[in-house]
Structure 1
Amino acid sequence: MKYSEIVGVEEHFKSAFDITSDFGDSWKTFISNDKFENNMGQIIKSFTSPVFNNRKSIWVQGTYGTGKSHSLAVIEHLLCDEYENIEDYLPRINKAQIRNEIANFRKEKKVFPVVLKGIYAITDVADLTYIIQQQVAAALRDKNIDIATKTDFQSVIQILKRGDLDSFFENLINKNIELQGYAANKEQLILALENNETKVLRIIADELKDAGLGGFRTHNIIEWLTEVKKELENRKIADYLMLFWDEFTSLLGIPARRSILNVIQDIAEMSYSEISDGKDTLGVYIMLVTHKRLEQTESYKDLKEDERNMAKARFVELDYGMQPTTTYHILSGALEKRQPDILDDLRQKNFLDVASVMGIVDKVIDSDAPNAKEVKDKIISLYPFHPYTSYLATFVSRVVGEAERSIFGFLNDEDNGFKKYIEHDVEESKFLTADYVWDFFYKTFESNAAGHFDSITNKYKLSADVIENKGENYVAVFKTILLLNILYRVTTTDADVSEKSMVNPSTENIVGAFSGVLEVDEVNAILDAIDESQILHRNPDGIFEVASSSLPQKKIMEEKKKLYSSKEDVSKILEEYAIKCIGKLKNNISRSVAREVDVQVFWAGDKEHLLRNRVEAKFKNEYSLNVALFVSRGVTRELDEILGRAETTPQDAKTMLTKMSKEDVFKNIIFVQVDTVLGNKRFEAYLDSLAQEAVARSLQMDEERKDGQQNAEKWISQWVDEIVKSGMVEIIFRGDPIHVPFISINKYLTENYTGTIFRYGLDKLPVAATAWNHQTSKKAVELVLYASNKSTFEQEAKGQDGVVKALLSDENQLLFNEKMELVVDDEKIPVVKVCKTVQQAINAKKSEVSINLAEELEFLTKPEYGYYQNRLFMGALAFALRPFIDRLYTSGNGQRIDKTVMKEVIVAIFTYWENGKYNDKFVVRMSTEEEQELTEKLATVFGIEGKDGLLETKWAIREKFQKKSKAPLWVLKYVGDNTDKYCEFIDKLFKFSKSTDENIVQNFIIELLNGIKTYDVELSNAVASVENSACLDTYILRELTNIGENSSSIDEVKEYLKTRMSGEVVFWEEDDVQKQIWMWKMGKQVPASSSNGGTTEIESTTSSGDNSSSGSTENTGETYEKSGVTSDTTDAEVLSIAKKGIENNKNNCDKLYEILTKLIDKYEYMAKDINELL
């Protein structure tokens, strides 16, 4: 049985509504909709607005096949029929306000309609005038209305019938060959004019004008329409005159289009032109129906800018698009159910009982619409139309149809449309599918003036033969893909999202279009074949989109070949999309893992030695949970052939990784080998996209370049999505592999590996994930260090930093007492372990000069601890260092480390661990019992108060000697008579006063402590006696005596020392002071010849003894001058003078002998050097 035996098309159904053939009540079959009713409201306002400028003529735009003509007929009837004839239709208008506006207007007013359609062979304004007159006259005649206003045709007929110009017309017929084609005599001439032969009228009008005969003039159309309207109004026939002109578009494309548009504008202006002293308007309207907007017409484009604005100002512009719901109603009404029972049975079996088909119905209707159920019923009633076909057919008709090809024309078409399909046997085909729609509209697609669909129709022409050889199902699917491409392309960018998605040529939509017809697997197999044969490419989103412009395929293939060798390592491909792709992998792996996770991606096909180096180099932080993710390319035939080798097999890669994971260098890295490979199909498509991008860039085709770039990324994203959603992996740790879903990696990291690697980390503490945020937390440290007891600590530890309270216990075991002292020894507990290990590390270094805590405790950043900046770890280190408050001193300035400084120390330690930033605060020294005792003894002996620690005490002693004594500490040796042992101790004290911190070692501290215990009384007395600036004088006087000088020179010597000694006086070394005093003496007494036979000044001084120096100060200065040495002479200059004197006396052995003898007597220490030289 054929479908045509059980269903067909109603006889009365017309493919297109002709407004000029509108008879009876067929207009009432129109189904009102929102768009129509909104337009009707605007039209009523154009008649009733109190503002005359708003009473404008109407321009309605809508594409072919949208029902414009039918809606125009309804408008004409609603405005022009007797009210009684429209009253029964008004309830069908859904909006009460519009319904009432129409009723109120029509109860008082009536419009006289003149209906026109098409071009009428109009070539100029004269033709336009005659056609309007002709159609107005015909409309009046149809209504049996006779008015005094004559058309130009009627005026000439009247002249002919009058008979006074018979000879003129007889001669005109005889000589005018063109006129002879219409008439051979007067009677035939009248008949031609009665038949509205425009050419005849034009010839007669021109000849009458040339002959100068009166009695006839060509009417101005505006004046003529005005006269007609006035007569209609005066005779109470109508209040308004309206021209309804359907399919007006073609007139706006003829050569005379600009003058045509000007006349139309003049007519439109009549609707709001004022009469009766401004009390009313002319009331002549024109309603134009086109498939183009005014600004899209050639006439409009010919106008200047100001003319364009004036043209648009004369019309109310309305859009009319066929609503899908209305189309479903019309189609449903057009189907003739010849055997309803059989049709219902088929519908039940093939449609209603098939869930996938019913799913498509739900997909194509708006479930939120108030009439959703009604629409659903109508779609179902359209069987054997597939529900997707119904949707696509109405869609294509709305967006790309034409007068000859609309969804209504599809019903009556026997070549490619509905009537062709119903000749199928009901057992052979279950549904009319979308490929029929492609066939019916193909000529429209092919002839599209703008060539928008050329790439799609060309794709069909190029591939049709190949597809047809594969079978009917391949052809049907292929045509449906192309149809969806066309509809997707014409969908506006601001279209409803659901509308765009419904015509997207996606795998889902293509499968849906054949639900209930072909199995899903069968459709997918066809799609795979189309993709793999490269008839059409499926992009990473599963969309079979035909490119709008074709890139040269040869260039793409050449570019692709260049890419192969650089894409062997798929880890590098992933790195190109690090944020989207690697980021997604990392986020899934680290999901819900408290500790920081560092995921690095590697190629499993790499050579072992290269892989070792790369894995070792990539992981920078030992405190993070380090995951090495290994990905593979899989079999890639073209690349493998080019390289001459295949990628390492998954099993070989697993063996290599298992072996590597056992080694110490990798023992804390978790290896994850991904099973899901990129695969040949994705790899090739990825390279195709990259090649497209490169070629498009070289050709400056930006849209194609972007498409290529985006698709390349999508192919890799698709691979990553597959890994994440359904991929399996081998987790390999220390030689032990397990096979698990990728999505479960985070679970295994938390439960199996974190505790193994970071046995003494704090990962098992029951705290919020925010506690692990990588950040400095001074507050967490402060809470631990500043708390006076545990109760206070627990009260004050609030907010996010309050997580440090979790460190107080392990499960149900308390770790600290009320004094915040550790009371548990079990080092399996991480907090206990860190406290004891830190204590051991510091105590082991307590005898060292200084301890760099950041370096000594850096082991905490590595497994098995893994500390880094966060609230928990910083709080735990604070607990470990809390017992050392007030027991440590900063090495740099000797500041005692109290709780405030300790906070700064801990923050500095973590900062150093993080970025290597040095801070001398974390370089400390341990305060021993001996050091504390020494500090107290020194403070007592030297009268130091308020200083904290040995270093501060040392500085205070030095400062005291600098300011009060103005002398170095060793001068204490020369206060009183002292033993050699005592003097040795004083030298050690002086050394202590000058020592840098790192030189004050424990042994030295003990020596000093023993010495001060022995000599504390002597030292106290000596210190008490030198608390003035004269204490250095004792030593200087002693030395002056030794060189034969008296006390009168002391001031000169002190001034000399100030110029020769560098640094503060407290740092002067005894030997240096002694040397400078000698140099002063040397400079004063350089040997020189004198009048007494060469006696030297030093000789004179020596022989004179102490008494000879009495009153010799002046002589000293004199001798200074004689020797060439003054107080301003530098040491180097004195040395130079001395050497010169020796040079001058090198032959005077006696003199030199005397000088050397005197020097040895005075400076015994020189004897050793002289002896060695001799």
Structure 2
Amino acid sequence: MARYSDYIQMQDYLPVYDITADSSNNLWASFIPTHQFCDLLQRTLTAVSSADKSKRKSIWVQGTFGTGKSHASSVVRHLLCDSFGDIEFYTKKIEDASLRNQLINYRKNKHFFSVVIKGVEGAYDLRRFSLSLQREVKNALVAAGHGNIVVKSDFESAIQYVKDHDSYTQDAINKHDELHDIAPTPERVIARLEANDIQTYMELEEALYNTVGVTLTSKSVSEWLAEVEKAIEDEGIADGLIVFWDEFTSIMEAIGSDRINVLQNIAEKAQSCNLFLFLISHRVEDQVASGSKKDDVRTMNDRFDTIRYMMDEVSTYRVMRHTFEIKSDKVGYDQLRYNRTVRLNELIDYLCEGGVEEERSGISNLFPMHPYSAFLCSKLSDYVGSANRSVVNFMNDEKKGFRKFIADEYVYEQRSLLTAEWLWDFFFESFLANPQCGAFTSNFQNHIHRVEEAGDDYVRVYKGILLLNTLSTQFATKSTDVIARISPNEKSIRGLFADDRLEPKMDDILRFLDTNQIIARDVFGEFKISVSSLNPAELRKEEEKVAAQFKSALDFLNYNFAVKANLTKLFVVGDYLIRKCEPQLFSCSDPEPVLRSRLNKYTNEKPNTLHVAIYLAVTEEERRAVENRVKDFSSEFLNSIHIIPTEVFTYESRSKFISLLASHNVAKSHYQESIEKESDLAAKQLVNKWGNRLINGSFTLYFNGEQTSEGIIGNIYSLINKKFSHRVFTKGMESVKAYRGITNTFLANKNFPALVLQMLQSQTRDKLTKFSGSDMPAKYIFEENDNHLIDEECRLTPAAIANGSWIAQVCNEVDECIEAAKKKYVDKFSLSEVFAPLMRPPFGFFPSRANWVAFSYAMRKHKADLFVTTISQPISDEKLADMIKDLFVMWNDGHSESNNKLMLRFGSKEESELTQLLYEVFQLQFIKDIPEVKSLSNVRWGINEFCMQKSRYPLWVLTYCDNINEKRAEIIKLLIEVLEADQNPDIAKIKNLYRLVNSEKVDIAQLVSSPKNYENGFINFISSIKTVKIQRDWWDELLEEISHLQSEVAFRKESDVRECVLNFYIMKRDQMNPAPAPQQSPSSPSGTSTQPANTPTSTFFTPSAPAAPKLVSPDAVKKAKTLVKEANMPGVLWQKVVLDIIDNNPEVAEFISNYLS
């Protein structure tokens, strides 16, 4: 199917003209010289060439986005500054012969040198502003091959000072971290100054002032520029200097009176030399009309020839037509245009006020755009301009614009032209953001669904009427003829859709909108949406109530939460700041006692956060009145940051706000929803504009009595990160210089338990410092100047400790907290109480990756000393990680008091030593499946395994052994008591047990490691039960019965075993009833009777007696054992082996005594 794009091809689209772009591509020459441009060129030529001082003025071009002011200004630059041969071709495009000849005559004799600036980020204080200008001018001269011009700038003056005072400069560098970070030597400082680096200059100036009290000499930038201009003339480079400064709007939003004065001084030089400024911006007066710079801008305007660059009808048509070209079939296009617009000639005459041929052809050449749509575009171009919404953007938009229309097969088939509803759809977002359009956008949002139900053509007419309402409001001050053509009268509405398919339906559509009160026809026949129909007396009464309710700056700010959020989000850690901060907003109108009370409360809360107080004012008088008081507060509340923004809400905005909110309240009470919404939106927009001025405006910052004004509110976080945060928290993560310039997810205020385990468990440096993704910057904690701060075994290097690196300071603080806790707490303690000093300055720990990593690393060396309070073993890495997480959760809330969830205790020296001693005594290394023994809990488990695998009896049976004395029996009982109390260990008993076991470790080892001793003890235990006699053939059955007890073998209760034996005996006796149980001694598993041989009928048994050993003197045996115990053997095991040999073979005692003697 056919489309308009079969005839039309869109040109390459450049949404924004860059005045700084290389001129070699001659893009500038594509500009069409309109009447508006010719006026701009004429006035510029007059300014630079006139001998009349009153006419010699700098130029200030102002206009909305999309009007082509930057492109037009670029053409002026080329025409005045390029060689005549390069621009002669373009002069032929200028239709005004008088202007063309004037330009040619001037250019044959003279030309200017141009410096082009776009924006200039960071020119937010007087020094940077001046340095930025000097830098751009110097760069332009060098780029043009004129670097030999010698006019000493502030940069050269600073270079000379450094060369003359090398030692002073080095001292200043060493004492000023910010300068040292970017230029550690005087040579590096000079190199950066030669590159016109502003930051280096500023840091050098501050460093010299703080160390030796020297202020770098500086020259008035206006005088410097005048000297440069003279040098340009003297060197024959050009006949003057013009500084073209595009995107000057952002500069005006940020600068204060001091920089405005500089601009005025530069502009005034035009009367005495050939130095001119050529500024390009939006309509600045409109933006600051209710701001603090209102008077400054008016004064500045007097020094400039201010040119309103507006898009007249013809200029708009030409610019729009330039966005597309006709393909090869121009004849076919012309025929199609004629066929589809032949009946619209009368309408075109009406729109062109009688048929000016230039306008007529401009409209006709925009086919397939409807003539009325083209006419409305000429009005939209100057009043609805933004970076995303201009008529040029509309022509090139593929979703809602002209480019989309010409590619649509349906509209071609329907013989449709691009009508007004397309414009409404495209520019709707701009209307929505404009408070003056609130009534129209609200009407649309409230009624569009009802209109859609009526049909597509109804929607088209409805949108067209809304567009006319919107434009007629913008042009309220224009001539009657203009108003008539853009007002929502019936003639204009029918004109919007002249010769359209919906023409026959127009009466029905208008009747539908009227009768349904969607847009009612007024008494004049217009479909005009009323902005207000509220009772004036009721409004005045409501205004009094609103005025009483809204007094302070915070009252107005709180009305628009989004604005408040945009301001406070600049202090969000991770996104902007590197330190957690919860800024507090104060009203300058509050009494001093109220401010002091709130500050006192605020600065005493959450000691690990930055305390930032922001003072907002309604009027300039309020702001000025509080300045000295705030400075005093900064000295009173030390280490807190106090900020006074330059921008105030203004008295005018306050009055408008009160009026709008009164309208909102009254409309709400009368159920006039449209006015209610419109007024609410407009009131919020007033606050929104103030918010934008605040963020883009300058400020005064006070800290500990010091004052600074560096930058704008929008980038104040950078200043705080680099210059203040580390002064509050001198040992905080800010100590790592690499973090002062980072604002990303690494610094996010979150929990990172995985990093804790990495720090606690890694055994090598490579594993410990293996970071990836968002964790990557954590590596800076363990390295400095590319040098490792920890060795391969993850220990701090001597250099890290000696140089006081941040991680070394954290480790030292953790060590000191641990040592202090060991002296203070005899029992359990809370981690949060012990490490509370880390949450307060100078460390100020809060949840951030750097803090998680540093604290967890510092805990590595202490984890073996930390025991869970209820068990006798060191805390596991996982449990410690959980506790650290809970600790950081507390720190996130700004407190660190005692907490039951974080209770631990210190493991005693004796506890650890007892663990190792019992491990040796019981020879647990020979027991299968026993892991490394680290605690008494592990020992308890190991001893139980020993009893299960070796002895098969509980520990307490050893107290019934034949060869045990009373002291050793008490040791066994105490051992059982300590190990059974594993869940709540008694440190005093642990210490006592260690002392006792250690004093007789060889004998105890002999006793506990021999299974025979357990068997002997158990038999004796059975024998001690007077009411029980166990027959030989019951023995295995009894042991099986005991094994079923629900308890650990080693720690079965004696009472439980006794009860089990008794029950077993009763069961057996009952089975043998009525025969009474024989009263004989128990038997051993070996089945050998313990009764005399003359009792053959005995059915009871005891263990067989060993063969009688060779008689040896007891003294000889005792001597041998003593020598063994005193001998220096590899371990307890070897001593036990030798002692066992003596016991089993007493005859070797004499040999061993002789050997060891």
TM-score, scaled relative to structure 2: 0.43
TM-score, normalising length: structure 1: 0.43
